[in-house]
Structure 1
Amino acid sequence: MTPRIVVTTPIPEPAAELLRTAGGELWISQEGGSLPTERLHEVAQGAHAIVANLRDRVDAELVEAAGEQLRVVANIAVGYDNVDVPALAERNVQVTNTPGVLTDATADLAFALLLMVTRRLGEGERLIRDRQPWSFELSFMLGSGLRDKLLGLIGFGQIGQAMARRARASGMRIAYAARNRVSAEVEAEFDAVYLSRSELLERADVVSLHCPLTSETRGMIDAHALRAMRADAFLVNTSRGQVVDESALVTALRQGWIAGAALDVFEREPEVAEGLLELDNAVLIPHLGSATVETRTEMASLAARNVLAVLAGRPALTPVWPNRTGG
């Protein structure tokens, strides 16, 4: 077999070099941004492997456009809510993702957002850049400290636990809500308390989201959830934008239901709800969770190694479905 590999977005050169070792044809998009659906289906024709990004809709229609020879779709992301996994499984197409390699980068950014929103750092920088007058006073732009505050993590996987380590180093207490309770050993490591989601929302000083986007979590942080939070609490989201109902969040921030929110992801990326842009108690950054040179290079390289493994008839390194060889 002479493989055709399609990469839907520009990737770091080390990852591209890995893919070249497969021989055959390597097509890497240089078109910038996400490919429109029609164009994505066009370039996928004849592909044995597709390296996709989280903006690509990978579904039965894409597989049909590619053809029966398609064997693997390697998603350059931990989450794979953009992939219709059952549809690909039905057509015997392997799906892989890139867990683990972005854990620290995302946790670093989540903790940075926590600091930005609790200490009003974005607001302070805007004041300086706008050349507004200011002077040091004891009551000037006071934020909230972290020591002895309760960090409530919704989702306690690799990234949630990495976030907990950073928070513990700053003297925070840890609680978590998750679909499955972790082991007693992991709870002991963080001195973490397991709570129901409703209890966590009511008690936490900071709620940080580290859950995948599923039918259960879509819109999970809605008006009811925001009303349940304390008026002096903060929300941090580095998971998926659709977990939060942005219109409800705008109301919550305007009405003082919560003290502030820091978002790396948005409900309709790259669009940001207009109301959020007007609010000083909202910290907004453009999906930078894994955006370090090292992390993005390793994510793309892991996707490439998954492709090479499946095309060679070996098990994928990080399969989403199924845990099988590529043969």
Structure 2
Amino acid sequence: MTDLHIAPELTTETEHLSQKNHEKKKVVIFSQVFPEFEEKLRQDFDVIKINPKLGDVNQQIREAVTNAHGMIGAGRLLGKEQLKTAQHLEIVSSVSVGYDNYDVDYLKSRQIQLAHTPHVLTETTADTAFALLMSAARRIPELDQWTRQGQWQHTVSAGQFGMDIHGKTLGIIGLGHIGSAIARRGYYGFNMNIKYHGRREKLETAQQFQAEYLSLEELLTSSDFIVVAVDLNAQTKHLLGQAEFALMKSTSVLVNISRGAVIDEEALIEALQNQQIFGAGLDVFAQEPLQSSKLFELNNVVVTPHIGSATEATRYAMNKLAYENLVLALNGQKPKYSVV
């Protein structure tokens, strides 16, 4: 990635704290971070960078964390197996909002802080959700290929028509920050009726969009578009499976920008194959990276490679916040956003 200067300079407080180190602490970079922040880390800390090209990543991590005080990165499983050798680890700073890759209970038991980067990716991820919704509804990828292949010799037939979006019912599972941003787009941009489901009602948030709280079953049966925006945990794993797809309208579109395991992927494939639902837009999958899948054989699903926050501006902001969380923790301060 290029070293962009599109966000404000780091806070004076954080810069001051990073300079307080008399004896440099050790930091492990376990995935790519922006060059600007890697350089800053190298100025103030002893840095070890994990390199997948050098072999077993877990073994590299086990060796690197032995005397490490901090870690920064994303996309790696981190728990007892990877961190059992750590003697001085104070914080894992994740360049992500989700933290299902981390064994939170283990980190708590070791009194290792876990920080993440919420809010800075909210709007970008909501954009991605709506891009998937619109692409699946209007069959954009399918018709793009049809056009490129020279098949546009006559106007599209009824069998190629898409679904209207404006004025339809949008059901959101998880009306958190991202879910609310999706609701705002649907309500104000497309005059959609907003329904939502979650662990509890959110009356103040819901009032902005005249959103109605429904049970999961009611939401599935009444919504034209269903967007999943929940955290992955024991309660949400395979939240949607065969029984839930059976409740959905045959004209409905499902969008998932949360985590792949929230959906029973095999059940979804079956529902799409049987045209039990109209289509789906998926940015996350049970297995990532996804090298092959029956999903690739279907023309009623849009797939993207987990790009919810993948813009230069948003990834820069995430890197900046993860860097600040790390530096604050290593200087005895509270990170801006902590999970543990």
Whether the aligned pair in 1 keeps the contact of 2:66 and 2:87 (CA below 8 Å) is no
Query: What CA RMSD, in Å, does the superposition of the two structures yield over aligned residues?
Result: 1.9
SS in structure 1 opposite 2:195? strand
| 8 Å Cα contact 1:232/1:259 also seen in 2 | yes
1:153-176 per-residue CA deviation (whole Å, 9 max, x = no partner) reads 000100000011111111111110
Matched to 2:247, the amino acid is: A
Q: Distance in 1 between matches of 2:287 and 2:45?
A: 37
Which residue number in structure 2 is paired with residue 248 of structure 1?
A: 267
Deviation track 1:245-303 (CA, whole Å, cap 9, x = no partner) reads 11111110111211101100111111266221111001111111000001111111111
2-structure distance, mates of 1:105, 1:8? 24
Go from structure 1 to structure 2 and tell me whether the alpha carbon gap of 1:119 and 1:311 turns closer, same or farther (over 3 Å shift).
same
In the alignment, is residue 234 of structure 1 matched against residue 253 of structure 2? yes
Residue 86 of structure 1 corresponds to: 105
Give how far 1:83 is off: 0.7
* Cα distance in 1, alignment partners of residues 155 and 273 from structure 2: 27
What whole-Å deviation, never above 9, does each CA across 1:32-66 have from its counterpart, x for those lacking one?
Answer: 79963223223333211011313x1111232222x
Compared CA separation, residues 34 and 121, structure 1 to 2 (3 A): farther
How much does 1:14 deviate?
Answer: 2.9
User: Which residue number in structure 2 is paired with residue 325 of structure 1?
Assistant: none
TM-score, structure 2 normalization: 0.89
Query: Are residues 1:60 and 2:80 paired?
Result: yes
**Among 203, 206, 212, the residue aligned to 2:231:** 212
Deviation by residue 1:187-242 (Cα, 9 ceiling, x = unmatched): 11111000111110111101100000001111111111111111110100010011
Q: Which of 1, 25, 42 matches 1:3?
A: 25
Aligned equivalent of 2:63: 42
1:199 match: secondary structure: helix
Contact between 2:50 and 2:60, CA under 8 Å: does it hold in 1? no
Distance 1:32 1:305 in 2: 28
CA–CA distance in structure 2, aligned partners of residues 32 and 147 of structure 1: 48
Establish whether residue 285 from structure 1 lines up as the match of residue 304 from structure 2: yes
The CA distance in 2 between the partners of 1:247 and 1:61, in whole Å, is: 29
Give the 3-state SS of the residue equivalent to 1:220 in structure 2. coil
Which consecutive residues of structure 1, in runs of 5 or more, have no partner in the other structure?
A: 322-327
Q: Secondary structure at 1:320's aligned position in 2? A: coil
Counterpart of 1:89 in structure 2: which amino acid? Answer: K
So what's the TM-score if we normalise by structure 1? 0.92
Do structure 1's residue 173 and structure 2's residue 173 form an aligned pair? Answer: no
Give matches, 1:156-171, under 5 Å.
156-168=175-187, 169-171=189-191
How far the C-alpha of 1:186 sits from its partner, in A, is 1.6
State the secondary structure of the residue aligned to 1:256.
Answer: coil
User: Given the superposition, is the C-alpha separation of residues 201 and 278 from structure 1 closer, same or farther in structure 2, using an over 3 Å criterion?
Assistant: same
Contact 1:266 1:272 in 2 (8 A): no
Find the residue that maps to 1:190 and give its secondary structure.
coil
CA contact (8 A) 2:51 2:57 kept: no
Structure 1 residue 263 corresponds to structure 2 residue 285: no
Aligned residues of 2:50 and 2:61 also touching (Cα < 8 A): no
Contact persistence 2:174–2:198 (CA under 8 A): yes
- 235-244 vs 8-17, greater mean Cα deviation: 8-17
Distance 2:206 2:126 in 1: 18
SS across alignment from 1:61 = helix
Partner of 1:153: 172
Structure 2 counterpart of 1:92, one-letter code: Q
